[in-house]
Amino acid sequence: MKRFRATSIVLVMLCIMYFITYLDRVNVSTAAAGFGQEFHLNKTEIGLVFSAFAYPYLVFQIIGGWVSDRFGARRTLIACGVLWAIATLLTGMAGGLVSLLAARLLLGLGEGATFPAATAAMARWVPKDKRGFAQGITHACARVGNAVAPAAVVAIMAVYGWRESFYLCGAISLVWVALWALTFTEQPKDHPRITPAELETLPAARSKSPNVPWRRLFRRMAPVTVVYFCYGWTLWLFLSWIPQYFLHSYDLDLKKSAVFASAVFFAGVLGDTLGGVVTDKLYERTGSLKRARSWMVAVCMLLTMISLLPMLFTHQLYVSMACLSAGFFFAEMTIGPMWAIPMDIAPEYSGTASGMMNTGSALAAIISPVLSGYLIDRFGSWELPFIGSMLLMGVGVVLAFRMQPESKFEADAAGAASPTHLHA
């Protein structure tokens, strides 16, 4: 009996992948309390460990997007999953700063193509009017990984040690790889559970993407990439330093700091889910991608900036938790519309286009944790790094109107490309 629809199975598998990848990325933030002390690392060195992941992650965004467009999301994610699982296991085996950095670099290599490949899969497996929801719910699961990681890692550290938390995460990753290989097919029509009714709602099957018009596509995606950098700065500041913020800024113990960090990250779960629903509803009611994507991103970035402002004028635990939770909630509401934009603009090159966009966040992941750690070391202020987040959110508000999701990028048979304007 076919109890689960094929499209639901694929979406659930992608949700689990997003959860695992972020669990594997941010467990290091909480485990830093263990390896930082064991290896005698200062805040700047810990920031380097946080950001090391992002160097290969940045490089392989566009490469990974192209690979997934060219060779398919199934093979791409199997290879990526094996790599990031091995990297997570090796993190638990680290003997000092150098081996920690090496393991994190390998993790970035393994996870570099994951989100572009997932977007390429969604371009085939998700109806156009559900793209915001699909991107929102998958990223919500990523934020569940953020929220679960602090408490889970603390619990494992308390009983076994910080190394064992990485061994467990690595094992979970390998299980997912096996299940993905068994349950996903590149084309929906080839899935054993697919029904005619489901196929009618999905985009028409297409052959492999033609050669990518790199220069024109990059120029078309440039405003989207810059806006996503502005968002990514705040994301990676939160993911890297929020557990340490509550631990040190308010002198909480490890368990209490994990609870407060998890509360902030759960606000992101709600933001991701709601953002995906709202952008689809706006598109359904207005028929305007500009309003459903660009306007919504601008409003949410403005609300993020306003939410963080009180932290500059008061230092009170619950006020800080409320500000950070609200800020992360509104920042995450941008995810549904932002990740739908590459599919709106360039559906034939959705993996490559989303990889270009995500280089913005990856670049922010390199700079934000290290600069934040330096500012904390230099000035002793845990609130100072959030000023950068507010400034960049303001930049994002302005540039969001330059993204033009209503202008579709199309390529002709010769490989040339031109934007086609749709009704806004």
- State pLDDT tens for residues 305-330: 999 999 988 889 999 999 999 999 99
Task: Please give the average per-residue pLDDT across 137-161, as a whole number.
Answer: 82
At 252, is the pLDDT very low, low, confident or very high (cuts 50, 70, 90)?
confident
Task: Please give the average per-residue pLDDT across 239-243, as a whole number.
Answer: 82
Please check the confidence at residue 288 and state whether its pLDDT lies above 90.
yes
The Cβ of residue 365 has, within 10 Å, a number of other Cβ atoms equal to 29
The Cβ of residue 177 has, within 10 Å, a number of other Cβ atoms equal to 20
Give the burial class of 34: count Cβ atoms within 10 A of its Cβ; 0-12 exposed, 13-18 middle, 19 or more buried. Answer: middle
Task: Please give the average per-residue pLDDT across 194-202, as a whole number.
Answer: 87
At 413, is the pLDDT very low, low, confident or very high (cuts 50, 70, 90)?
very low
Rounded alpha-carbon distances, angstroms, from residue 92 to 42, 43, 108, 138, 142? 20, 20, 16, 27, 22
What does the pLDDT read at residue 415? 44
- DSSP E strands: which ranges in 187-256? none
Please check the confidence at residue 79 and state whether its pLDDT lies above 70.
yes
pLDDT (tens digit, 9 = 90+) per residue, 341-353?
Answer: 998 998 888 888 9
Using the Cα atoms of residue 67, residue 68, residue 74 and residue 78 in order, give the sign of their dihedral: positive
21-35, 62-76, 275-289, 358-372: range with lowest mean pLDDT: 21-35
62-66, 95-99, 276-280: range with lowest mean pLDDT: 62-66
pLDDT (tens digit, 9 = 90+) per residue, 376-388?
Answer: 888 888 888 899 8
pTM above 0.85, yes or no: no
Please check the confidence at residue 208 and state whether its pLDDT lies above 90.
no
What does the pLDDT read at residue 412? 53
At 283, is the pLDDT very low, low, confident or very high (cuts 50, 70, 90)?
very high
Task: Please give the average per-residue pLDDT across 17-29, as a whole number.
Answer: 84
Strand (E) or helix (H) holding 122: helix 114-125
Q: Helix or strand or coil: residue 241?
A: helix
Rounded alpha-carbon distances, angstroms, from residue 40 to 43, 208, 238, 255, 362? 10, 51, 23, 21, 27
Segment of 14-28, 40-54, 179-193, 234-248 carrying the highest mean pLDDT: 179-193
Mean of all residue pLDDT scores within the chain: 87
Q: Which residue has the higher pLDDT, 106 or 153?
A: 106
Domains of the chain (ranges; CATH) run: 6-203+210-421 (1.20.1250.20)
Q: Residue 398 corresponds to which tokens in the numbers above? A: 């302005």
Please check the confidence at residue 335 and state whether its pLDDT lies above 90.
yes
Dist CA 137 CA 253 (whole Å): 32
